[in-house]
Amino acid sequence: MTSYTTSSARAEMNELRRLKTLLPPELQSWVMVESSTEVNPPLIRSEELGKDEVEIQIDLAKWENLAIDQRNLMFWHEVARIQNDTIPKEGWEMAALAIGLGGAVGELWVQDGLLLLLALSLCGISGYRLWQKNNGEKNLKDAIDADEKAIILATRFGYTLKNAYQSLGSALKTLIEQTPKRNQRKKYEERLQALRRSASKAKQREDQGGNQPLQTPPSRSRNAARMRNI
């Protein structure tokens, strides 16, 4: 039993080290790859630990159900989310909304117009950020954009365009089959449909003899600044 546990732990560490090598060089100094310690965590997700530190967390028990190529593309999808600056930020919005609402009620009582305006502004900003986080249409678009960029990252690491599409497509199919929750399964299905449309367009370009590479979407905010300084 001890031997099996040691062997399993060694295999997990090897996988985490392998994934670290799949990070683009410009991310390796500030993006970490770790095993998730939550109860029933998502397969893979990213969390911002600080201003210049992001951690990719992986449920290695579920991860083992995917083939190596499928893992690689799912990993690059998450890397693309980091590059696109679409990972969730620190959850300050609910606290800020509560403070803003409390302040607004208090300022109505004392009738301080400037402080009331500041409290309402805080409510507006935090409320908008909460809406963004829970906006299903925006979240789906961000995921589809990350899939597109994951394909580009795969070609950067030696995949052909065809193999990259096939690997990500098969990963999404596997997740659809293994996901019991209907809402999450629907998101995977929509991503798969978008990926098929993208693959069809890429094939049309090849058939027309253009062989035009996919264009990398521009990195946003702090990532763009980092890229300029490399």
Same domain, 82 and 102: no
Does the residue 28 lie in any domain?
A: yes
Instruction: Provide CB contacts within 8 A for 175, sequence distance 6+.
Output: 43, 188
Does the residue 140 lie in any domain?
A: yes
Same domain, 60 and 157: yes
Does the residue 226 lie in any domain?
A: no
Does the residue 34 lie in any domain?
A: yes
Specify the pTM. 0.74
Same domain, 124 and 175: no
Distance CA 13, CA 19 (A): 10
pLDDT band at 160 (very low <50, low <70, confident <90, very high): very high
Same domain, 80 and 152: yes
Res 52: pLDDT = 81
Same domain, 140 and 68: yes
Residue 16 backbone phi and psi in degrees, to 5: -65, -40
State the chain's mean pLDDT as an integer: 79
Is residue 225 pLDDT above 50, yes or no?
Answer: no
Does the residue 223 lie in any domain?
A: no
Q: How many percent of the chain have pLDDT more than 90?
A: 54
Number of separate domains in the chain: 2
Same domain, 42 and 127: no
Least-confidence region, from 45-54, 59-68, 101-110: 101-110
Same domain, 121 and 181: no
Write the CA distances from 230 to 16, 25, 84, 226, integer angstroms: 25, 10, 17, 7
Same domain, 150 and 85: yes
pLDDT band at 39 (very low <50, low <70, confident <90, very high): confident
- State which of 76, 110, 133 marks the end of a domain: 133
3-class secondary-structure state, position 34: strand
Same domain, 154 and 195: yes
Q: What is the pLDDT of residues 69-78, one digit of tens each?
A: 999 999 999 9
Same domain, 13 and 125: no
Same domain, 127 and 138: no
H or E element at residue 33: strand 31-35
Domain range for 10: 2-89+134-214
Distance CA 226, CA 54 (A): 14
Least-confidence region, from 13-22, 169-178, 205-214: 205-214
Same domain, 121 and 140: no
Structure tokens at 122: 């805080």
